Amino acid sequence: MSLINAELICAAVFFISFYGLIVSKSIIKSIVSIVVMEMAVIMFLISIGFTDGMIPPIGQNMENAADPLPQALLITAIVIGITVTAVNVTFLISLFRQYQTADWDAVRMKNWE
């Protein structure tokens, strides 16, 4: 698979999950859509930073060494994504305990009462 196809697939997955986030009536589906969007962005950045023939920056030969900074930033993005997911699930649990539902519309209707 060429690099351009990988970038297009990542963009398509991002926009499909964004659409799922907009039209979803379930809080759980919204959380899953956010997670898929985060992973699509990470995979997109990995596909942009990939260069064939690069080696890890270990040892004396640094001619074709890969830049470790994007890798460190992506690991940070993954950790932040996991944290955002944990906070979202915590909010879901709190909403479910309060309203006994995981439906956005039902929460809105009970909130207006």
Contact of 66 with 57, CB cutoff 8 Å: yes
pLDDT in tens, 80-112: 999 999 999 999 999 999 999 999 888 888 877
Residue ranges of domains in the chain: 3-52+66-112
- pLDDT in the model for residue 60: 75
- pLDDT in the model for residue 59: 76
Length of the chain in terms of residues written: 113
Task: Give the architecture-level CATH label for domain 3-52+66-112.
Answer: Orthogonal Bundle (1.10)
- pLDDT in the model for residue 94: 94
- pLDDT in the model for residue 64: 79
- pLDDT in the model for residue 71: 83
pTM for this model (two decimals):
0.83
Give the residue ranges of the chain where pLDDT is below 70.
1-3, 113
Rounded-to-integer distance, Cα 1 and Cα 89, Å: 35
Largest CA distance in the chain: 69
